[in-house]
A and B are shown apart, each in its own frame.
Chain A
């Protein structure tokens, strides 16, 4: 493994001191927003609590068939044929191959590289790639049919390491000043190589889609999904359908976290193709094993980082190289990389910056969206650097951040002037106060220095700070041109029309809440239309922490217009008169926020309309015998512009923080031959209630003036800071830096004993270990790999 080096030329004079007066928010004071009138209860809460809420697999369509996907068992191969055993009676089975696709054989997204199904003669690019589909009237027949399909293939050489891959999905450069020249003048240079692996979103509801063919030749899909219009677009293209024929309806959705951003297009197309061929509704409900094996993960990344500090203790240079592993197909990789690159400098002033990023193809299942979307990977590296600089300077990691964190008026590496809503220092001070950081840090230091050889446990505290651009990157929101609508029916009902989905984060609660507020009516008077593409306009995807800020902002504008129009026509207040004023409808389209437009070619301008700011501080115990980490306490302070609903906002912080703790400590996909080894819940572990600390959230409000309500978004923020805070705490406890995520007991013990580090995260072993039977050696048709077809391939060439 590549070891980071630390090149200390001369120490700057004196310890770095804070140059600001700390702003202290007492921890017993209510967070901003709490003082407001009690927020409404979750709109769909009662349905979820009584079991009445209908998730995709709960929906009943009489006569529905069951669908299954026949997948590759090789990371790269030529598909020579799809063979149906003659001994089996295929009359009651429907088989779909690439030849059955009426439109283009493309899962429409950014690039056109991913086929809906690999055609015969085409190239299989990853384990678990879909090659054929089957449907049957019952599950037993489906299982039997699956055992009688064989994929005939010719194995091709595969690439698993993004560093040796020659196929690039995207590259970006962000440059300010002259980083190389400034690095030469630095008094202290810290270098590091950081590596992070795959992370599975692990929504508790698996991917699920049911396609229902209609008499007009169209098809309606009902499913678990985040972005109805992504699927709509993909269906129109692959099924060669017009707007009206392809209809997407969201069922209640049991968690997404990015995992149901782009993948549902694949499963929707598969279900729709089967439904169109068998003329029955077709249920495609993944089990956990198939879900983990085939669907997208967080991108693994390698980040090489150099930071230069001047002799007066200023951060003067950053040179960063980011390599991301996109997997076999492009999916959203360029956008993930872009966000990663734009956040790689961390939330700190630095005049000379050069950040380059490349996303490479490997023969592993495609990686995709996951909460944080590239930023957790690069900000882990950025925060590791800051914490290591503090160590090298013998400075407090808190003081260093107080000195360097962006303030209003500072300029980012893309030339964006941070004019307002810059809450980095506030979240830092709020978290420091809540966890008594300075005092605790002094205690853990003296504990570490006084520790005897026989000690069994070590305690440490760590801090991390991050920024997170709110909404789509660069010109993304302008290109989306989202529309949100508000309708007054002639029956006198107020109805919100957006494609923004509820997946637990609270869309269905905060939308009626802010609209009711703007209209001056009660929360209960505002309804929300179902997320059905035949009913609602395209308000953009439910991603990028954009829903409250962007779509919420459009709804408030729409409500203000509706209110003015009604009050003008009736001469009375909206609340008194709206019931007789309809029908009326306002379609509010996005207009660009103020600021410098972003240039996608030069990467100059305002990368985001505003940034959210997050600070996490964590206290951990490390078992020195086993390397096991227990997170004892964790505070996450987040500047989200404005708190709309304190309970829901805290829920986002707490849940995001625990996902970050999992990323930091236990969540790791192991791969062999490009296939996920731990592809079940028994082997891919996420934190349980016993692994979780009591997470304390602090909400800070620095409103963004570009939207009427000032809210910036919250969902992804806590994901950026958890892991580096925990790794810093592990260092504080033990004195060792773990440069790879997750910081598993194996990695910690190896670092403590100067032992051999385990395999780098994200990398695939070339061949199965002797203990692992090759998939081909498993009993044919066994239930172990129920969705995989046996192949006739014997040995790699």
Chain B
């Protein structure tokens, strides 16, 4: 079967089984390995990507469900190597340590920023509750999202 959608604004078409996980399509068929697999069952959020702006676990989405959508991954954030506001904030605050949860955190954090929700600490915690991190204790991730919100509001 053939499935068409866009990834980071580029149109893509893949010839695979419709039940193939979006995660495998991204990582293996499209060589976009920035999206990570931590558990394969929707618990850790390492494979978080955006489908039409909504955060989903790419390990739980069959590619057939992505048809006609706009998929965004961590590879679509930086502009010609220039980090976006949230990536830069992660770099400065120490929000990335081992880095394996980072792509998913960036997608969840980015969706939160785009939602316009008041960036209180409680709201940020809620926004990343589906993304596990074992390195940071979350404090510096929360600080990074808050810093990015601050910079977005007062550029």
Contacts and interface: CB of A to CB of B under 8 A. Distances in A.
Interface in B130-150: 130-142
B88 to A, nearest CB: 8
B121 interface: yes
Nearest to A52: B34
Contacts of A503: 98
Interface residues of B, number: 56
A58 B23 CA distance: 12
Given A655-B136, A681-B39, A44 B94 contact: no
A505 B130 CA distance: 23
Interface string B30-71: 011111111111011010000000000000000000000000
Contacts of A417: none
A385 interface: no
B113 interface: no
A638 interface: no
Contact of B99 (A44, A288, A648, A686): A44
A42 B96 contact: yes
Interface in A634-657: 647-648, 650-651, 654-657
A650 B38 CA distance: 25
A58 B99 CA distance: 13
B139 A695 contact: yes
Contact of A49 (B98, B102, B139): B102
Interface of A: 41-42, 44-55, 57-58, 60, 201-206, 252-257, 287-288, 503-506, 647-648, 650-651, 654-659, 680-682, 686, 688-690, 692, 694-695
Given A651-B135, A651-B140, A658-B138, 14 more contacts: A45-B90, A46-B83, A48-B99, A49-B83, A50-B81, A53-B99, A205-B100, A252-B99, A255-B97, A504-B98, A659-B134, A681-B41, A682-B41, A694-B139
A521 B131 CA distance: 39
Contact of A55 (B36, B83, B121, B129): B36
Contacts of B81: 50
Say what secondary structure dominates the interface of chain B: loop
Contact of A41 (B34, B77, B92, B128): B92
Contacts of A49: 74, 77-78, 83, 87, 90-91, 96, 99, 102, 106
A729 to B, nearest CB: 18
A47 B81 CA distance: 10
Contacts of B97: 255, 504-506, 651, 655
A58 B36 CA distance: 9
A655 B87 CA distance: 20
A204 B136 contact: no
B134 A257 contact: yes
Nearest to A206: B38
B98 A288 contact: no
A548 to B, nearest CB: 15
Contacts of B129: 688-690
Contacts of A651: 94, 97, 135-137, 140
B75 interface: yes
A650 B35 contact: no
Contacts of B73: 51
B93 interface: yes
